Amino acid sequence: MPTLSSYFSEEDDPRGGNAPRHKFCDLMTISLLCALSGGETAVDMEHFGQMKEEFLREFLDLPHGIPCHDAYSRLFRLMKPTSLQAFFDKFRSDFAAAHAEHPAIAIDGKEMRRSFDRAASQSNLNVVTAFAHGARLSLGVTQSAKGGGEILALRELIEMLDIRGITITADALHCQRETCDLIVQEGGDYCMQLKGNQGDMQADVRAFVADQNIEYIDEYISVEGDHGRVEERSYRVYDVPNYLVDTHQWPHLGAFVHVVSRRTAGDTTKQSERVYLLSKCFTAQAAATLIRGHWEIENSLHWSLDVVMNDDHHRARKDNAPANFAALRRIALGIIKTNTAKGSNRVKFKKAGWSNDFLRTLIAGL
């Protein structure tokens, strides 16, 4: 059974004075095992430790017994969220090995709806997460910067990650010149949706792709049917004309992708169009994979956090506690998702709480 000491360094322990009665590694190990077993709060961690004390003593010293909930609460309030980065580094390594050909990372924010504190005039915390396409792993997390919101938080996260050779996807909020320039400077590429926040450029690009005499570089068409609906999507990749480069000065712009979606249900057909900016010219099929893959962060990560882990209902509000508990939940969910045993994520969380043997298998690879 691993001690996880290589992940939880005592150097990251923020406690001072007489507070370090319990070892930092012990507290963090119990916290993670509790999260893997479905625990959500500092009180859950205390009760988990009490119920699993015999199991925990197989690999933890626990010189002063099982920590109380105040010990976890104080630690998570004081600890810098970057102290959990060692786990995200592990997931990044696994992601790079599994997706060496066309690695991509989706970055998006999620508001924690119960993290507000009216007494302190504190609004809900917005956590920005980097999520690996295909591998469905969280690779890093940060909270929205004060005064800068999600846009600056995404840039901070990009600087934290090693994105060399990786394509970053994000929603239209992050289609900003500074963000795209930073991604390329850090060695990555970008795929960004162009919408109303870049109104003049959006109008010019739409007029360009609407010209029937303009030749596209490549095209890919996908057709999907389910629940009585048929969805057809056309992806066309266009080269960037010189007049748009001169007019808008968009950094490192390599190509456009024009997406036309047609959804038919019965006798009703609806059509929508979107435009994406690429820092390099991908094939139409590769561009389609990037665009569709971005929504895994909503469908796989955010949905699982809300439905399986009650992310929106957590009431940690003080200091760094909201961000640290949010990061812990994402680490636990990432470990659950990488487990190949049969069963849903919800079942695996329950099995970890019921079976010490299954809990051992979850962290054996760490």
Domain residue extents for the chain: 10-79+318-364, 85-303
Q: Quick one: pLDDT at residue 105?
A: 87
Cα angle, residue 30 at apex, residues 5 and 72 outer, rounded to 5°: 105
Is pLDDT at 47 greater than 70 in this prediction?
Answer: yes
Rounded CA-CA distance 285/102 in Å is 12
Name the percent of the chain lying above pLDDT 90: 34
> How many C-beta atoms surround the C-beta of residue 265 within 10 A?
12
Q: Which residue has the tokens 């298998």?
A: 361
Domain spanning 85-303, CATH class = alpha beta
Is pLDDT at 116 greater than 50 in this prediction?
Answer: no
* Beta carbons within 8 Å of 243's beta carbon, 6+ residues apart: none
Nearest to 257 by CA among 232, 282, 228, 223: 282
Across the range 63-91, mean pLDDT stands at: 84
Is pLDDT at 260 greater than 80 in this prediction?
Answer: yes
* CA 178 to each of CA 30, 31, 174, 185, 242: distance values in angstroms, whole numbers, following the listed order: 41, 38, 9, 10, 21
Instruction: Give rounded-to-5 percent helix, strand, coil for the chain.
Output: 45, 20, 35
Specify the amino acid at residue 218.
D
Q: Which residue has the tokens 């370090």?
A: 20
Antiparallel, parallel or unpaired: β 189-194 and 255-265: unpaired
Q: How many Cα atoms within 13 Å fall on the side-chain side of residue 85?
A: 11
Confidence (pTM): 0.70
Is pLDDT at 290 greater than 70 in this prediction?
Answer: yes
The DSSP call for residue 190 is E
Which residue did the predictor score with more confidence, 97 or 261? 261
> How many C-beta atoms surround the C-beta of residue 212 within 10 A?
5
Nearest to 167 by CA among 255, 231, 234, 247: 255
